[in-house]
Structure 1
Amino acid sequence: MKKVADMLDAKRIESITGLKGQTTGDVLKLSVPRKEVRVTLDGFEIIPFMGLTSWVAFRQGPHHVTLMGDIVVLEDEIEPAMAAAIKAELYVTALHNHFVREQPRAMFMHIEGTADETALAKGAHGIFDAIKTARQKHPVDAAAANVNSKLDAQLLEKVIEHKGESKDGVLKFVLGRPTTPLVCTRCGDLNIDAAMGYNTWAAFQGTDERAAVCGDVAMLENEVNAVIRELQTGKIEVVAVHNHMFFESPRAVFLHYWGIGDAQQLARTFKSALNTQKASAV
């Protein structure tokens, strides 16, 4: 049992950031859907629940609090967001794409830090405020509130063997990797779980006959080639392979993908890629 002094002060973090968080276990996650930005790709709307939501997660470690996050930035938001992160002494652990051909261009800035929770919360607030200021100077079209999807959710859940969450016309699956623990060595070997960003996910929209899927696969190094092979065999594009964090053990590699086609076939390809991870030798 953790002492009260060793637990996060969620109300203080929420007050500093101006955001309402969601608690999963001992992780506090704050999300910022990019509702003010409309992003389209191959005729599909990439709404916030489809993969256009910024987030930061806080977890109490042995000595300090650790923050990890993924921040959605348009091209003109990159410099001010990164400057705010560096000013707050947060690590910018990655800046990369999650999609290809999207309009306008959306990039993703991953951040990480271990410090006093007040300092971390102020840092997160500074990043979000910098993005807000940049966007107010040059407004763009707002995202659609939802997408019109007609998917057989139960059938896709049966294929993937996991329960999905339906929201705003998108069916989303989020899978952790509890059998392959990940720790942050700089954070006192703090466990990095699904709520902190160590997860695989898939988001579907459209119809059973023509759906779009996008997502992220969390992999160990020896799993990368097999996952790529399965996705390409199933005609799903691999659009990025990269890191999301620093100081993790074992090494975690993340792969982003995009596919259009029969919904069940897309789900089967995704599931096949996951199965290759189980078969890969450590």
Structure 2
Amino acid sequence: MRSTIWSLLGLGACLLAHGAGPIVSTARAQDTDWQKVDETLGRKPSVAGDVRRYGFPRTDLAVTLDGVTIRPALALGGWVAFKPAHGGTMIMGDLVLLESEVNPVMAKMIAGGLEISAVHNHLLRASPATFYMHVAGHGDPVNLASAIRDALADSKTPLTIAASPTTPPAIDLDTAQLDQILAVKGQANGGVYQFNVPRRDPIVEGGLSLSPVAAMGVATGINFQPTGAGKAAVTGDFVLSGEEVNPVIRTLRAHGIEVTALHSHMLDEHPRLFFMHFWANDDAIKLAKGLRAALDKTASTKS
């Protein structure tokens, strides 16, 4: 049996760890001291259903791509989500790292009893180049939070929250038309207009339903950052079954949208999923139509 962090199949749960590892726990979710988790991670979460999601945006980085200065909410928004599971809490996360940070952070993650499920790019030509480390774990949430914080301390990821500007950047786009074209209601976040599009089929990892899907990182994400005169830089990732991959590639490319990465994010999910990242900087309405055409090739929900 593969030495994963957790096994959630069947009536009970059996944590697979090396001895009495640092994240082993049988604590019930309702007994969790979430304030201690917040204090350990140095921030408050966004809460959706039973999921608490902590953001780790790389506000310290000045990343440019094709002349566009990328806002953290566009493509630099690392996160870790905590969800009650059999015998404790499961986590899933996606952390944004520089090349020089990947191996030190990975070493600390492993030492802390966490599992690495993917390391890869999302963008091409970005300067400096950024990499994305997907992590997973199961156990006591305070210990999990400590392992995450200790690992991120070996990067320059901000571990304290800077004061937010009193007025968020304006979204200089026709957001009502974008909503209509994509058939989903978007929302503004840090100068970026964001969409999350769930799949129609339920997604399970290790026997546990990954819901709410947006909070757990398994909804198609589409982000628009205004670049002036009705244009926008768009990026994000499509969540796809195997048979959807090439129809979506062909559709995106036919609409002038570059496919920048294709890979997995998890190890034991059902159905098997692939994540396709994309990039373009063009007329926002034109891009929305291309993205909608690609969504139509998938088993995605419509409002």
Find 2:125's aligned residue among 101, 113, 127. 101
Residue 35 of structure 1 corresponds to 59
Q: Give the alignment partner of residue 298 of structure 2, picking from 271, 277, 282.
A: 277
Whole-angstrom CA distance in 2 between matches of 1:27 and 1:86: 24
Q: Does 1:192 align with 2:210?
A: yes
CA distance in 2 between partners of 1:67 and 1:108 (Å): 16
Q: Which moved more, 1:258-267 or 1:235-244?
A: 258-267
Shift of 1:90: 1.1
Tell me, yes or no, if the aligned pair for 2:29 and 2:89 is still in contact at 8 Å.
no
1:6-45 correspondence runs (5 A): 6-7=29-30, 8-45=32-69
Shift of 1:191: 0.9
Of residues 222, 225, 228, the one that matches 2:249 is 228
Report the alpha carbon displacement of residue 93 of structure 1 after superposing the two structures with TM.
Answer: 0.7
Deviation at 1:198, TM superposition (A): 0.7
Task: Supply the AA of the counterpart residue of 2:223.
Answer: A
Contact 2:64–2:128 under 8 Å retained in 1: yes
Residue range with higher mean Cα deviation, 5-14 or 79-88? 5-14
Task: Report the identity percentage.
Answer: 36
Residues 1:253 and 2:277 aligned together = no
**TM-score, L = length of structure 1:** 0.87
Distance 1:162 1:95 in 2: 30
Alpha-carbon distance in 1 for matches of 2:118, 2:155: 17
- Alignment deviations for residues 181-206 of structure 1 (CA, whole Å, 9 cap, x no partner): 11112xxx111132111111111122
Equivalents in 2 of 1:147, 1:238: separation in Å? 28
Counterpart of 1:203?
223
Q: Which moved more, 1:102-111 or 1:18-27?
A: 18-27
Give the direction of change, closer, same or farther, for the CA distance of 1:75–1:146 in structure 2 (3 Å limit): farther
Are 1:263 and 2:263 an aligned pair? no
Indicate how the Cα distance of structure 1 residues 264 and 70 shifts in structure 2: closer, same or farther if over 3 A, else same.
same
Structure 2 Cα separation of the partners of residues 208 and 274 of structure 1: 26
Deviation at 1:32, TM superposition (A): 1.3
For structure 1, list consecutive stretches of 5 or more residues without a partner in the other structure. Answer: 137-144
Report the counterpart of residue 151 of structure 1 in structure 2.
Answer: 173
Secondary structure, counterpart of 1:130 in structure 2: coil
Q: Residues 71-95 of structure 1, C-alpha deviation per residue, up to 9 Å, x if partnerless? A: 0001111111111111112111111
Indicate the RMSD between aligned Cα atoms, in angstroms. Answer: 2.1
Could you tell me which residue of structure 2 aligns to residue 173 of structure 1?
195
Note the C-alpha offset of 1:168.
Answer: 3.2
Rounded Cα–Cα distance in structure 1 between residues aligned with 2:290 and 2:48: 29
**Alignment partner of 1:162 is 2:180:** no
Residues 171 and 188 in structure 2, CA contact (< 8 A), matched pair in contact too = no
